[in-house]
Chain A
Amino acid sequence: MKKNQKYQVLVVEDEPSLNEAINSKLVKAGLKVSVFDDGKQALDTITARGKHFDGIWLDFDVKEINGLEFMQRFVAIPGWESCPVLIVSNTGNPELIQQAIQLGAKEWIIKAEVRLDDTVNRFIELIDTAKA
């Protein structure tokens, strides 16, 4: 997993304890992590500052803007396709899932269905696949 060390990822999650846990697990896996508790700030970082990320971990239900709005604005950024978005949510609403996938999200994980460690592994796998 040496190649992970180069991955620069963005995590949007507004629950402080979870936010911290994801950050520490990703850092432990060798990734460089920028954590945001609100989607708007995260987007500003990408657009205004033109910062590049290798993957985005997006809690669908965060403050300011919801996951769909985030996706709509994210896919307007040129070159977004190279950066897989994993949506992680406490909602299992099939319509929302379908809309998010149609907008370009790679995958939707329902938080309680999957162990956090497995979600972390899946996230890294998605980036590996995008890079391959």
Chain B
Amino acid sequence: MKKWYDAGMELLLKLPNELDNVIQYIDRPILLIDAGSAQVTGINQAGINFFKLKPDLVGISWPGVLALANVPADIDMSSLWLIRKDSPPQTEDQRTEKLTYIDQEDSTERYLEFQIIKPRDNSTTWAVIIVDKTDVESSVRSRSDFVTMASHELRTPLTGIKWGIGLFLKRYQAQLDPEQSHILANVVQSIGRMNELITALLQLSRIETGSLQLKPRLVEVHKLLQEVIQAQSAQAQRRNIMLVTSFHQNLPEIFLDGTLIGYVFENLITNAIKYSRDNSDVTIFLSKLQDVLLLQVTDSGIGIPRDHQKMIFEKFYRDPSAIQHDPNGTGLGLHLCRIIARRSGGDIWFESEVGKGSTFWFTIPLKGVTVAAHEKESEVPSISS
């Protein structure tokens, strides 16, 4: 049998010969490409099957070979070039690129991930491993569709319960004894929490399925922040927490999705208040740097234990001390915040120390969001948030 590669020996120089066979039979397409000529110089069996190559085929180029995998001709594949023209020379050994497209043959939506591996030495042979994520993506999608459907279905009866209790309280509150009042107050609180959870789940599944569209408009960010703070001030006052604020007063209007950015503001500020000690300060600063707006929210509350810090943006994750402090959180707030921050071209990070408090920083690019071409096209059927 012909070796699975013709060139590219350099890449495997230090590996035992047995690896040839392993790579040959591995079920992911693996290609070796000469960076100078962009010619594919080696391909394993899975690659031959993937591209439906004929054995006598010669002289195929990267990433032109993807046309054989039914990628439409008008898809921009410049992100897959080994050496990208628009960025400085890459120093990393491996990067991952994604490609989503409609298969020209069977019209299904396909998700491919490309691990592009730079040679370690001076060789010009690169390796590309293709991971077909179509099945994974479609299962995420069907799970999210289920969550969306279930959430919608739950919301209808919940609205009924809320309405019924509201009406009951309006008519009969005066006749209730303290114990009855207390029980009903708990019920009302639980309904509120469930409503919150359903809203967060809906947001999340929209984000996961990509049906959450950014709806940018020109936003006065400091006014948006002011509104959020205003809405939280009663909660803070109740526990004698002072909201110390200072905003840049002369900000330009920025093209972004105000609802989503407002969601991030609200989350960071309610968290800061929630995890603060009574009679303490929460500081909120909004500064204008060269390319970004920077928001800082600092509390002097319970803090996040070091070994839980890297998990706090994960979906449904709550650190044990936070659960103890407030058993009712959804574990979705910060996860959504990070997705929104990144979708908006910004970032979110924090520093925290147990017993001293936490500081969260959130950046928003001054140039606003750029809506990708494929998002613009599907703007019409988007779901409102």
Residue of B nearest to A25 (CB): B281
- Specify the main secondary structure of chain A where it touches its partner: mixed
Residues of A within 8 A of B289 (CB): 92, 110, 113
Q: Are A112 and B290 in contact, with the CB atoms below 8 A?
A: no
Task: Report B251 CB to chain A, min CB distance, Å.
Answer: 9
Residues of B within 8 A of A59 (CB): 246
The verdict on A2 contacting chain B, using a C-beta distance below 8 Å, is no
What CA separation (Å) do A17 and B236 show in the bound complex? 14
Residues of A within 8 A of B295 (CB): 112
Residue of B nearest to A116 (CB): B283
Contact-size category for A: 20 to 34
Q: Are B245 and A113 in contact, with the CB atoms below 8 A?
A: no
The verdict on A121 contacting chain B, using a C-beta distance below 8 Å, is no
Q: Which residue of the partner chain, among B244, B248, B286, contacts A17 with CB atoms under 8 Å? A: B244
For B254-290 the 0/1 string (1 means CB < 8 A from A) is 0000000000000000000000000001010111111
Residue of B nearest to A14 (CB): B246
Q: Are A111 and B296 in contact, with the CB atoms below 8 A?
A: yes
Q: Are B361 and A116 in contact, with the CB atoms below 8 A?
A: no
Q: Which residue of the partner chain, among B283, B287, B288, B296, contacts A21 with CB atoms under 8 Å? A: B283
Residues of A within 8 A of B324 (CB): none
Q: Which residue of the partner chain, among A111, A113, A115, contacts B246 with CB atoms under 8 Å? A: A111
Q: Are B290 and A116 in contact, with the CB atoms below 8 A?
A: no
> Given A90-B248, A112-B294, A112-B361: A17 and B287 within 8 A (CB)?
no
> Given A112-B295, A112-B296, A115-B296: A90 and B244 within 8 A (CB)?
no
Q: Are B244 and A111 in contact, with the CB atoms below 8 A?
A: no
What CA separation (Å) do A13 and B242 show in the bound complex? 17
Residues of B within 8 A of A21 (CB): 242, 244, 281, 283
Supplied contacts A90-B285, A115-B283, 9 more A-B pairs, CB within 8 Å: A15-B246, A17-B242, A17-B244, A20-B242, A59-B246, A61-B248, A92-B289, A93-B290, A112-B361
Binding site for B on A (CB under 8 A): 13, 15, 17-18, 20-21, 59, 61, 89-94, 110-113, 115-116
